[in-house]
Structure 1
Amino acid sequence: MKKIVFALLLPILVVASGYTVQAAGFKDVPEDHYAYEAILWAEEYDIVNGYADGTFKPNATITEQQFAKLLANFYELESPYDELKKQTPLANWSDEFYNRLASYGVPLNGYFDNNIRGANVKRGVVAQAISHLVNGKSGLDQSIQFLLDYYISTGQNLQYENRNLQKFFGVSNNMTRAQVVTMLHRMDERNFYEISDYAQKINENMSNASLNTRAKNGQNQLDKTMQLTTPSNSAWNGTYSYYYKWGTGSTDFNRRDAYISNATSKSFTIFMTANDGTAAGSVDGTATITSNTKAVMNKSSNGNRCVLEFERHNNALKITEVDCRKEHDEGTNFSGTLKKQ
């Protein structure tokens, strides 16, 4: 694996006794965090970034599109000449990474749907995607065993050890940012840089298969229990945006973006950002649905108090911040009415 030369590693803070030593300036990653070294490594080689508020959010769940970016960056996969033709045609920041992974036939769910991309990625999907690139075409059990044999990952449910491999590994559990970065760091330590012959042949594409065909084959390679090819029909799910340019300067604008996924009859997952020119912030968490058109979130995924009220309109989402000061920079908030994209 070629290492990226334009490293972005910030100096490690060395401070007096009694203060927390932080990883690359991330105020929520102390030196004694289990993923401290992995996060330093991942930022050094531009595999992962932090948030605008100076945090890394190591315990935040990771979506499939965020995982796709990390995996494509780890292997420095080249972009194909063509692009995926999606069912949701709106451009998405993750398009580049899904195009690159599709050219290698990597097993993922979200190639054709932006909504699926924003859902939390399951441990079983991560296992099959990594094993495909490192070890060739593998079923779910083979992929899990590969990760366990090389201590790239471990099991989560000890009561099933030597009894049920998938339950022991926790295939349906969500993954956190710190967990995924730790897995990639262990791959680096074990010199798993080379792409498997199987994935390489898909990329060489001697049969001239379209990028969509290779992506679909990757989807089908996922274990049936891991496949998520039909998005929820909940009216809450979707991408919402607001942008207003009020002057001619480069910072004379207001922007709000929100992504709602995993909606059920009771709750949904929310990730949103706010940028008011020079001030920016982000927040993610779970909101409770209180009626057909209203919902409320009381705390962020970090456990901080963060009260947001949501009201769903036709093709729009009104968001009102009541108190969420610990989750964004001073000078901005998450309020506004955003149009559904």
Structure 2
Amino acid sequence: MKKLVCALLLPLLVVASGYTVQAAGFKDVPEDHYAYEAIMWAEEYDIVNGYADGTFKPNATITEQQFAKLLANFYELESPYDELKKQTPAANWSDEFYNRLASYGVPLNGYFDNTIRAASVKRGVVAQAITHLANGKSGLDQSIQFLLDYYISTGQNLQYENRNLQKFFGVTNNMTRAQVVTMLYRMDERNFYEISEDAQALHENKSNTSLNMRAKNGQNQLDKTMQLTTPSKSAWDGTYLYYYKWGTGSTDFNRRDAYISNTTSKNFNIFITANDGTAAGSVDGTATITSSTKAVMNKSSNGNRCVLEFERLNNALKITEVDCRTMHDEGTNFSGTLKK
């Protein structure tokens, strides 16, 4: 977020003795609240908003989707051209923020599941997500150290100081809305509002990686102890990839990505992208399961003819295109064997 000046903000309410001065728009954030300045700053720059009753609920535990909104707004992340294909397909108010964060490969848990998005976010996840955007791809310990070194955050368990970094930081603890806003306020004060080269490169996406794959890579970047993903309900479900670089040029590659979700006993949703340097295409639709290892799709979700045959292998997916000419450029197709 590029800000020339962090203006001095006057409270909207000036009152007589005996009343509490409130932060602009939030009746539950008094002037003596430790996060008062941070919350006023965040509201001024449209990073946060409150609830319909005029409160901010600064001491409420923050969910991952609330954190996702704050982080995407703080960095003014650009929206990608495509959208995530979720395991829980129902539209959610946080979809636009997760789409933006996925484009930059931010480590988060809830990309594909609305239930996980609504769960409390752990301090360790917050540390890795912020550090990824501020300082580049980092492990859990590196992320914590970055926040501590620049006094963006402090430890919670003093008895572990200089003994156990993760316990000192409290990686498994929840955070409040005020704590996260305060952390972003300190990021701004220390001029950490520029996006890291790692995150920017993922967004520019010169390797033509699908949005779902960038989201999955973000999930996998989280420390194993911080990962919280919905277990696959079917052997079909998952993300599959094929990539082959056959030359030194920027277009000398072949890539296939497939994402299968919402599998039932009869069918599953499939989303595929294909890119062969200069030729590309994508298709999504519903495939009918014909046996324990085979399935077929006859048309895309927009009604175009697209016949694809699928065979589930050991940690792989074989795709054979019969006819999908309306769904991709000349010179490429959706065929290939992709690894899970």
Same-fold call, TM cutoff 0.5: yes
Residues 86 and 261, structure 2, Cα contact 8 Å, conserved in 1: no
Residues 1:51 and 2:51 are matched in the alignment = yes
Instruction: Tell me the SS of whatever aligns to 2:86.
Output: coil
Instruction: Tell me the SS of whatever aligns to 2:243.
Output: strand
CA shift for structure 1 position 297: 47
Change (3 A) 1:127 1:37: same
Instruction: Tell me the SS of whatever aligns to 2:182.
Output: helix
Q: Supply the distance in 2 between the matched residues of 1:261 and 1:31 (Cα, whole angstroms).
A: 48
Q: Supply the distance in 1 between the matched residues of 2:302 and 2:138 (Cα, whole angstroms).
A: 35
Instruction: Deviation per CA, 1:141-196: give whole Å up to 9, x if none.
Output: 00000000101111111111111110010000001000000000001111111111
Q: Supply the distance in 2 between the matched residues of 1:59 and 1:163 (Cα, whole angstroms).
A: 29
Change (3 A) 1:166 1:100: same
Q: Supply the distance in 2 between the matched residues of 1:253 and 1:49 (Cα, whole angstroms).
A: 44
Q: Supply the distance in 2 between the matched residues of 1:23 and 1:283 (Cα, whole angstroms).
A: 49
Instruction: Deviation per CA, 1:85-104: give whole Å up to 9, x if none.
Output: 11111111101000000000
Instruction: Tell me the SS of whatever aligns to 2:110.
Output: coil
Q: Supply the distance in 1 between the matched residues of 2:6 and 2:268 (Cα, whole angstroms).
A: 38
Change (3 A) 1:209 1:231: same
Residues 47 and 73, structure 1, Cα contact 8 Å, conserved in 2: yes
Change (3 A) 1:82 1:315: closer
CA shift for structure 1 position 134: 0.5
Instruction: Deviation per CA, 1:204-223: give whole Å up to 9, x if none.
Output: 11110000010000000000
Structure 2 unaligned regions, length at least 5: none
**Aligned CA-pair RMSD:** 16.5
Deviates more, 1:22-31 or 1:78-87: 22-31
Larger Rg: 2
Structure 1 unaligned regions, length at least 5: none
Change (3 A) 1:208 1:239: closer
CA shift for structure 1 position 137: 0.7
Deviates more, 1:310-319 or 1:328-337: 328-337
Deviates more, 1:233-242 or 1:163-172: 233-242
Identity within the alignment, % = 91
Instruction: Deviation per CA, 1:211-250: give whole Å up to 9, x if none.
Output: 0010000000000000001279999999999999999999
Residues 232 and 263, structure 1, Cα contact 8 Å, conserved in 2: no
CA shift for structure 1 position 13: 1.4
**Residue 257 of structure 1 corresponds to which residue in structure 2?**
257
Residues 9 and 43, structure 1, Cα contact 8 Å, conserved in 2: no
CA shift for structure 1 position 203: 0.7
Residues 115 and 238, structure 1, Cα contact 8 Å, conserved in 2: no
Residues 240 and 316, structure 1, Cα contact 8 Å, conserved in 2: yes
CA shift for structure 1 position 9: 8.1
CA shift for structure 1 position 14: 1.5
Instruction: Tell me the SS of whatever aligns to 2:198.
Output: helix
CA shift for structure 1 position 55: 1.0
Residues 105 and 215, structure 1, Cα contact 8 Å, conserved in 2: yes
Residues 60 and 301, structure 1, Cα contact 8 Å, conserved in 2: no
Q: Supply the distance in 1 between the matched residues of 2:211 and 2:286 (Cα, whole angstroms).
A: 35
Instruction: Tell me the SS of whatever aligns to 1:67.
Output: helix
**Residue 298 of structure 1 corresponds to which residue in structure 2?**
298
CA shift for structure 1 position 26: 1.6
Residues 1:271 and 2:242 are matched in the alignment = no
- 1:273-292 to structure 2, matched below 5 A, reads none
Instruction: Tell me the SS of whatever aligns to 1:193.
Output: coil
CA shift for structure 1 position 18: 2.4
CA shift for structure 1 position 28: 1.2
Q: Supply the distance in 1 between the matched residues of 2:281 and 2:208 (Cα, whole angstroms).
A: 44
Q: Supply the distance in 2 between the matched residues of 1:225 and 1:286 (Cα, whole angstroms).
A: 34
Q: How many residues align?
A: 340
Residues 321 and 334, structure 1, Cα contact 8 Å, conserved in 2: yes
Instruction: Tell me the SS of whatever aligns to 1:43.
Output: helix
Residues 298 and 306, structure 2, Cα contact 8 Å, conserved in 1: yes
Deviates more, 1:55-64 or 1:20-29: 20-29
Residues 63 and 117, structure 1, Cα contact 8 Å, conserved in 2: yes
CA shift for structure 1 position 73: 0.3
CA shift for structure 1 position 2: 3.3
Residues 275 and 332, structure 1, Cα contact 8 Å, conserved in 2: yes
CA shift for structure 1 position 52: 1.1
Instruction: Tell me the SS of whatever aligns to 2:258.
Output: strand
Instruction: Tell me the SS of whatever aligns to 1:29.
Output: strand
Residues 318 and 337, structure 1, Cα contact 8 Å, conserved in 2: yes
Change (3 A) 1:59 1:300: farther
